[in-house]
Structure 1
């Protein structure tokens, strides 16, 4: 346990050093605040985004991708906002700016850069599909929550490497152990807790912070349990499909409470599985960024 306390202290020191943590550009906060403001000036936002050539190019390219299939070709940020809506452009901005954070090796979790990125994108896409199916949460909110659900692994990966063998042995000896419980035992934090901390620093809405914190325990969510349940189900589907399976494997169970809350049946889950090839193809432009 001495090592666990030492690692916990190191993690806490890392989290206190805000300058050393991953960060989002300021435009993300502007987009998030404007989405919740009915009087937002779309033209002003388009001008702000257009000052960043890389972000502008990414928005135009992704706006014209198969995932969104616009009715006409989009040639500017302004056209993207008018044609697809501010909430959709928000998703594109988040995907574009989060790539540098999520598309990196997290070797401690036995995931390379493309693994974590592909998993995050698929959970985002699935979360949006589940939200559309259940009509409980806006698909754009679900997309954002799904995209950021594993961001805590980026910080914990270097610490996890130190105790991976111990966790691996314990999981072999007792397959019923939950992976998040072992994270907590050996590091003092779960990747959900660290992810929630990061999202709080980045001033994300509380419901998105909660979804990252409790995506493996959706029954604990209080602010927006439907959103957390959606991310949980999407995450489980992605893992079952073999996309982004990390050192924890399939050690976390699918929550019946989440399925009940969303009124999802086995047939609904099967439908999501069957539509995965189509969704993965639609997400191709995002994955290849």
Structure 2
């Protein structure tokens, strides 16, 4: 297995002994050193991710995981009782939440609450509007899962998780590189350009840094590769189709005004064809997203409490 370090180093050139390469090497080491101060993945999130990988329908294990985390239990019940889900009677237990909302939805809500709760401090989210960021992440995750369902994929929850984590590197940059992040935001706003373009000007990449973080957390390789490749052209997705799927989901969310800053340009027809989907199918998915904004707002409100 490759080291966490290699996720960044392999994408920034070779290691020949020139003055320029030495400078690049020092920059890599600086990036890694700063990222090492990020917190570890919460135990509850690790357990939910383990359920996704081992047995995506293990109801008993999911219920126990949530019940053993009082904060997550409280947050989940707040979401389950929100107006968007409109329960006829109050949902007061994790078991009832699973019965009413469904196993997959509860698992995905729990994962969202756990991971985003890790970064809800103002310092970690400096320069990022929390509600917009979480809304985009949850929306991308939801659309990724919908696309995976249309492709009849075996484990659609992997797609949800990949979509949820795709921009996690931006939080890492804002927390560990505050000066560079301020420059990125300033340039993106002044030039009205995607953050991706502004990042390149300061020599950072939320995709590569997010991939490093995912590997450092010990996440499965599919998440590492998806995060690293979700802005690359289709020709780079030979290792996994998930990067292309999340890229399309990301673009759909920008189209329905659930994105952050201007969307990076993509070749949507190429992505759709690569994934074996159709334009009509994607249009139909977009029409089904009417309630998504209300649901994601409820989750983000709970996270920020």
| Pairwise TM-score range, normalised by the shorter structure | 0.7 to 0.9
Q: Does 1:23 align with 2:40?
A: yes
Match of 2:163 in 1: 146
The CA distance in 1 between the partners of 2:259 and 2:56, in whole Å, is 39
Q: Structure 1 residues 53 and 240 mapped into 2: Cα distance closer, same or farther (>3 Å)?
A: same
Whether 2:175 is the aligned partner of 1:155: answer: no
Give distance in 1, aligned partners of 2:75 and 2:136. 20
Q: CA deviation at 1:152?
A: 0.3
Q: 1:199 aligns with which of 214, 223, 226?
A: 214
**CA distance, structure 1, for counterparts of residue 245 and residue 275 of structure 2:** 8
Partners of 1:272 and 1:240 in 2: CA distance: 12
Structure 1 counterpart of 2:232, from 197, 204, 217: 217
Partner of 2:14: none
Pairing 1:81-230 to 2, within 5 Å after superposition: 81=98, 87-101=104-118, 103=120, 111-136=128-153, 138-157=155-174, 158-161=178-181, 163-164=183-184, 167-168=187-188, 180=196, 183-187=199-203, 189-217=204-232, 219=234, 220-225=236-241, 227-230=242-245
Unaligned runs of 5+ in 2: 1-19
Change (3 A) 1:288 1:257: same
**Preserved contact between residue 163 and residue 246 of structure 2 (Cα < 8 Å):** yes
> Structure 1 34/183 Cα, relative in aligned 2: closer, same or farther at 3 Å?
same
> In the alignment, is the contact (CA less than 8 A) between 1:123 and 1:146 conserved in 2?
yes
Cα separation, 2, equivalents of 1:150 and 1:31: 20
- C-alpha root-mean-square deviation of aligned residues, in Å? 3.8
- Kept in 1, the 8 Å contact 2:125–2:171? The answer is no
SS at match of 1:204: coil
Alpha-carbon separation, structure 1, partners of 2:277 and 2:88: 31
CA 1:107–1:242: 2 relative to 1, 3 Å: farther
